[in-house]
């Protein structure tokens, strides 16, 4: 009997972003700050819209102004907008599908959440007016993490898009946003919350909790404690809705249709953080689909022949200048000065040898990468910023087909 | 204006990935080299600071890693314990247990409590005068405002209580430009520059802390002057390049292309620097640190950055 054909589940994993993204509904771009996460997410969304068709949405947190401009996102809050055909035409592109973009506005999203979950008008108004709520929704760091995932869930549940690419907010700890839904659920079911709410309901404080209030009173003052209580009594009415929602968000993150794309550079600090992050994803049984390494120096910087040429150029700069002077003088009399040519050759060689040191370190880092995603790709150092569809295209093409 | 190193408390911030921790470590090292007793505090503690001095990871208890240079890692629970003991005279033995949970809860619910314990610790160090200079490797620019504005936010939210009375002397220290200052680190790239300009505006309107300087990190060297660039362009044309190939080996074209990349990169970045200068109050100085073509990060790099920083500060 012939050996059984391997089941589809054990077929080899995709080796390119193209293959990876084709099978997913959600791609979450994450990683340390300052590595080009937003740009990479946008570039992946663009490639998907170009090649896979359907409706693709890129949700970004804080895009560079010119990038926001290119995507038609300037000043629109968190409504989803379609990237206009004109923008594609200007870049000489004819996408098979539609590219949509949205910018995450934490405050607006929180308010929308309250409106949805509040049991009645009065509760809704009181929460929206509560100074503590305004503080939390506006400034509170973790609220960004939670709301990003919440918004993702909402958009996915609307089943409007074939693919959603999400750029995660820069967090103090890259993992915060993964825990945010769960933490919020914990938060609402904690005994402490009940403790805090008790004095608001009745003046009856039992012996066990009295020391807690005495200390809290001394530190925070009674009025503030009452404010907190009021806030949570109001929130309590939305408890079920919130916890259920938080659990659904967690389920969506670990769903087979969701994959994570860790973005980093090859610099030591961001790379360690990205490795740690990738490791945690695996531990949580979340899908580590790809690692994208941005701003990688061109491969020629580690090429031994080129390096030898640069070294020779530096050493023999004076002789070379003498040999080249007639050629250059023929192009323009002011170009034939031997001393200037020698200096230029020296600088050119020196620059190469400098970057050679950095490129070697990068190569070493890459070779010893401690995690194994399905897809690993590198984006070369672009000499200019990426701020339009053409730039996104250039970046996307580097990583799309592997 | 007095020098950065004459301040008592310096917060160093910047967008992720621009080298904020390296600059903070270098600044502290420079001050210690100039005879000051310096404490550097890491807020988002991952032990990076100690690593930049080739020292083992540090905890909440400060440790001298180089002569006159002390390192500590911020830990809000430990700070709370210290606070309770010193300010409220509530002795806490061992772990705080349920109180820590209560604290965690309140700190999560009430924005500002965690921040004030952090900032409070630094202000306390300044008030106690155990160090000439406290350098804070502060949160990234997205979060620093919340931290620096915390004493004021608490003042608005908490009307009475001990915390309220604490915030007054903290605000005194934070608002005093002779004692406290903020340094923003950025690189000459689009997003870091945008964020720095935005930060400068928010620091002015939302906090009482003075922005005392912007450190521009990783500035690429200028390869050519104008005349030299014309020669470089000519070298890149077909005939001279072929001759060069013949003289030094086949890859001369690659070496020239690499230099072209370096020139373009520098030029793109220069435009961002112009934007930075235009977007920041002219009274705030910019300090430039060169891109380091180094093998790795460590004490050697930190020393190099400290030396460059010293030159920029006029030492």
> What pLDDT is recorded for position A64?
66
Identity of the highest mean pLDDT range in A138-152, A369-383, B153-167:
A369-383
Question: Is the pLDDT assigned to residue B276 strictly greater than 60?
Answer: yes
What does the alpha-carbon distance between residue A44 and residue A17 come to, in Å, rounded to a whole number?
8
A327 Cβ under 8 Å from any chain B Cβ: yes
The 10s digit of each residue's pLDDT in B75-105 is 877 777 777 676 656 555 444 455 555 555 5
More confident residue, A114 or B6: B6
Query: Residue B106: its pLDDT value, please?
Result: 57
Q: Report the range out of A345-354, B51-60, B135-144, B246-255 with the highest average pLDDT.
A: A345-354
Q: What number does CATH give the domain A15-297+381-400?
A: 3.40.50.300
pLDDT given for residue A237 in this prediction = 74
Q: What is the mean pLDDT of residues A161-189?
A: 71
Write out pLDDT tens, residues B184-218.
Answer: 999 998 888 988 999 999 999 989 999 999 999 99
**Is the pLDDT score of A115 beyond 50?**
yes
Contacts of B103 in chain A (CB under 8 A): none
| Cβ contact B18–A381 (<8 Å) | no
Mind telling me how many Å the CA of A343 is from chain B's nearest CA? Answer: 8
What value does the mean pLDDT take over residues B224-236? 92
The whole-angstrom distance between A223's CA and the closest CA on chain B is 7
Contacts of B98 in chain A (CB under 8 A): 212
Q: Which of A278, A274, A299, A295 is nearest to A287 (CA)?
A: A278
Q: Determine whether the interchain pair A385/B189 forms a contact, defined as Cβ–Cβ distance below 8 Å.
A: yes
Percent of chain A with pLDDT over 90: 37
Please give the pLDDT value at position A187. Answer: 62
Please state, in angstroms and rounded to a whole number, the distance separating the CA atoms of residues B291 and B266: 11
Where do the structural domains in chain A lie, given as residue ranges? 15-297+381-400, 301-364
Closest CA to B218 of B157, B308, B142: B308
Residue B59: CB atoms within 10 A of its CB come to: 14
- The pLDDT value given to residue A6: 42
User: Which is more confidently placed, B301 or B155?
Assistant: B301
Q: Which of A134, A324, A343 to mutate to test the interface with B (most CBs of B within 10 A)?
A: A324
Q: Would residue B306 be called left, alpha or beta, if left means φ above 0 and alpha means ψ between -120 and 50 degrees?
A: alpha
The minimal CB distance from A218 to the residues B88, B101, B251 is found for B88
- For tokens 């055909």, the residue is A85
Average pLDDT in chain A: 81
The pLDDT of residue A181 is above 70: no
- Out of A73-87, A107-121, B47-61, the most confident range is B47-61
Model confidence at A32, in pLDDT bands (50, 70, 90)?
A: confident
Cross-chain residue pair B259–A351, CB shorter than 8 Å: yes
Supply the pLDDT for residue B223.
92
pLDDT at B75: 81
Instruction: Tell me the C-alpha distance between B146 and B152, whole Å.
Output: 10
Structure tokens at B57: 């990871």
pLDDT reported for residue A348? 96
Sign of CA dihedral A301, A303, A304, A310: negative
Q: Measured between beta carbons, which residues in chain B are less than 8 angstroms from residue A224?
A: 110, 157-159, 161
Give the pLDDT score at B159: 65
Rounded to an integer, what distance in angstroms lies between the CA atom of residue A71 and that of residue A388? 8
Sign of the Cα torsion A222, A115, A62, A171 reads: positive
Q: Do A132 and B164 touch (CB under 8 A)?
A: no
Question: Are A383 and B261 within 8 A, CB to CB?
Answer: yes
Tokens of A282: 């695996």
Cβ separation A223–B251 shorter than 8 A? no
For A327, which of B223, B239, B293 is closest by C-beta distance?
B239
What pLDDT is attached to residue A220? 62
- What ipTM did this prediction achieve? 0.86
Percent of chain B with pLDDT over 70: 86
How far is it, in rounded angstroms, from Cα A269 to Cα A150?
30
Question: Over 80: is that where the pLDDT of A167 sits?
Answer: yes
Mean pLDDT of the region B35-56? 88
Domain B4-221+282-312 of CATH type 2.40.50.100: no
Of the candidates B16, B111, B161, the beta carbon closest to that of A136 is on B111
Q: In sequence order, what are the residues at sequence separation of 6 or more whose Cβ sits closer than 8 angstroms to the Cβ of residue A270?
A: A31, A32, A34, A35, A264, B16, B17
pLDDT at residue A1, rounded to an integer: 42
Contact list in B for residue A193 (CB cut-off 8 A) is 105
CB-nearest to A324 from B143, B160, B243 is: B243
* Sheet containing strand B211-219, strands side by side: B63-66, B69-73, B38-42, B133-137, B9-14, B180-186, B211-219, B286-290
- Give chain A positions within 8 Å (CB) of B293: 354-355, 357-358
What would the two tokens of residue B284 be?
């705030």
Which chain A residue has the Cα nearest residue B256? Answer: A348
**Among A120-124, A135-139, A147-151, A260-264, whose mean pLDDT is lowest?**
A135-139
Contact A219 B163 (CB under 8 A): yes
Q: Tokens 């077909």 belong to which residue?
A: B238
Contact B201, A258 (CB under 8 A): no
Residue of chain B whose Cα is closest to the Cα of A355: B293
Q: What is the pLDDT of residue A303?
A: 95
The winner for highest mean pLDDT among A235-239, A289-293, B90-94 is A289-293
Question: With 50 as the cut, is the pLDDT of residue B55 above it?
Answer: yes
| Per-domain residue ranges of chain B | 4-221+282-312
A299 touching chain B per CB within 8 A: no
Interface probe for A, chosen from B13, B50, B147, B191 (most Cβ of A below 10 Å), is B191
pLDDT at A203: 47
The pLDDT mean for chain B works out to 86
Other C-beta atoms closer than 10 Å to the C-beta of B137 total 27
- The CA R_g of chain A, rounded to the nearest whole Å, is 28
Res A4 pLDDT > 50: no
Query: Among B16, B232, B293, whose Cβ lies nearest the Cβ of A34?
Result: B16
Residue of B nearest to A173 (CA): B44
- Tell whether A312 lies on the interface with B, counting CB pairs under 8 A: yes
Range of lowest pLDDT (A78-82, A144-148, A190-194)? A190-194
Q: Which of B158, B251, B291 to mutate to test the interface with A (most CBs of A within 10 A)?
A: B251
The residue among A154, A67, A161, A64 whose CA lies nearest residue A108 is A154
What's the pLDDT band for A33 if we cut at 50, 70, 90?
confident
């Amino acid at each position: 009997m012939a050996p059984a054909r391997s089941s589809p589940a054990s077929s080899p994993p995709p080796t390119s972003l193209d293959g990876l993204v084709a099978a997913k509904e959600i791609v979450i771009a994450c990683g340390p700050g300052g590595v080009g996460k937003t740009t990479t997410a946008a570039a992946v969304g663009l490639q998907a819209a170009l090649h896979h068709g359907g409706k693709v949405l890129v949700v970004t947190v804080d895009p560079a102004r010119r990038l926001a401009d290119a995507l038609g996102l300037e000043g629109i809050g968190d409504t989803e907008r379609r990237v206009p055909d004109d923008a594609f035409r200007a870049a000489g592109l004819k996408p098979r599908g539609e590219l949509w973009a949205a910018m995450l506005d934490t405050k607006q999203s929180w308010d929308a959440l309250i409106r949805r979950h509040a049991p009645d008008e009065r509760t809704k108004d009181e929460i929206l007016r509560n100074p503590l709520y305004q503080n939390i929704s506006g400034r509170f760091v973790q609220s960004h993490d939670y709301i990003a995932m919440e918004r993702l869930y909402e958009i996915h549940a609307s089943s409007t898009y074939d693919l959603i690419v999400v750029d995660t907010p820069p967090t103090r700890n890259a993992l915060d946003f993964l825990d945010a839904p769960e933490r919020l659920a914990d938060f609402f079911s904690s005994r402490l919350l009940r403790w805090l709410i008790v004095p608001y309901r009745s003046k009856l404080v039992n012996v066990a909790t009295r020391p807690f209030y005495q200390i809290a009173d001394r530190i925070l003052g009674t009025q503030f404690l009452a404010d907190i209580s009021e806030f949570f009594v109001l929130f309590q009415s939305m408890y079920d809705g919130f916890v259920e929602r938080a659990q659904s968000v967690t389920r969506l993150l670990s769903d087979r249709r969701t994959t994570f794309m860790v973005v980093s550079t090859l610099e030591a600090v961001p790379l360690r953080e990205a490795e740690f992050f990738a490791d945690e994803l695996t531990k949580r049984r979340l899908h580590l689909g790809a690692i994208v390494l941005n701003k990688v120096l061109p491969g020629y910087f580690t090429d031994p022949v080129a390096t030898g040429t640069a070294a020779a150029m530096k050493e023999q700069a004076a002789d070379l200048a003498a040999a080249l002077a007639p050629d250059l003088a023929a192009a323009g009399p002011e170009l034939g000065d031997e001393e200037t040519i020698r200096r230029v050759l020296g600088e050119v060689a020196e620059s190469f040898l400098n970057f050679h040191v950095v490129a070697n370190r990068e190569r070493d880092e890459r070779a010893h990468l401690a995690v194994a995603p399905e897809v690993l790709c590198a984006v070369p150092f672009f000499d200019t910023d990426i701020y339009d569809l053409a730039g996104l295209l250039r970046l996307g093409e580097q990583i799309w087909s592997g | 204006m007095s020098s950065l190193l004459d301040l008592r408390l310096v917060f160093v911030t910047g967008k992720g990935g621009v080298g904020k921790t390296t600059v903070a470590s270098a600044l502290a090292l420079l001050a210690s080299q100039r005879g000051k007793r310096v404490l550097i505090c890491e807020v988002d503690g991952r032990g990076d600071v100690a690593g930049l001095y080739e020292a083992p990871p540090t905890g909440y208890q400060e440790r001298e890693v180089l002569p006159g240079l002390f390192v500590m890692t911020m830990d809000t629970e430990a700070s709370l314990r210290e606070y309770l003991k010193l300010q409220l005279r509530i002795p806490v033995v061992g772990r705080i247990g349920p109180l820590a949970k209560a604290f965690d809860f309140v700190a999560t619910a009430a924005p500002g409590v965690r921040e004030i314990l952090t900032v409070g610790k630094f202000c306390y160090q300044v008030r106690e005068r155990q160090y000439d200079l406290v350098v804070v490797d502060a949160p990234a620019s997205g979060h620093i405002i919340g931290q620096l504005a915390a004493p004021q936010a608490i003042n608005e939210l908490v009307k009475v209580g001990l915390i309220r009375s604490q915030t007054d002397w903290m605000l005194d220290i934070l608002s005093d430009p002779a004692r406290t200052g903020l340094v923003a680190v950025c690189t000459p790239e689009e997003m870091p520059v945008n964020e720095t300009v935005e930060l400068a505006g928010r620091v002015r309107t939302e906090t009482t802390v003075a922005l005392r300087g912007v450190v521009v990190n990783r500035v690429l060297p200028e390869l050519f002057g104008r005349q030299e660039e014309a020669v470089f362009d000519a070298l890149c044309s077909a005939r001279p390049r072929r001759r060069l190939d013949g003289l030094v080996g086949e890859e001369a074209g690659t070496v020239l292309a690499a230099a072209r990349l370096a020139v373009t990169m520098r030029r793109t970045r220069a435009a961002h620097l112009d934007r930075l200068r235009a977007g920041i109050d002219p009274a705030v100085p910019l300090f430039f640190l060169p891109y380091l073509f180094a093998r790795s990060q460590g004490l050697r790099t930190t020393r190099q950055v400290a030396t460059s920083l010293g030159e920029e500060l006029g030492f």
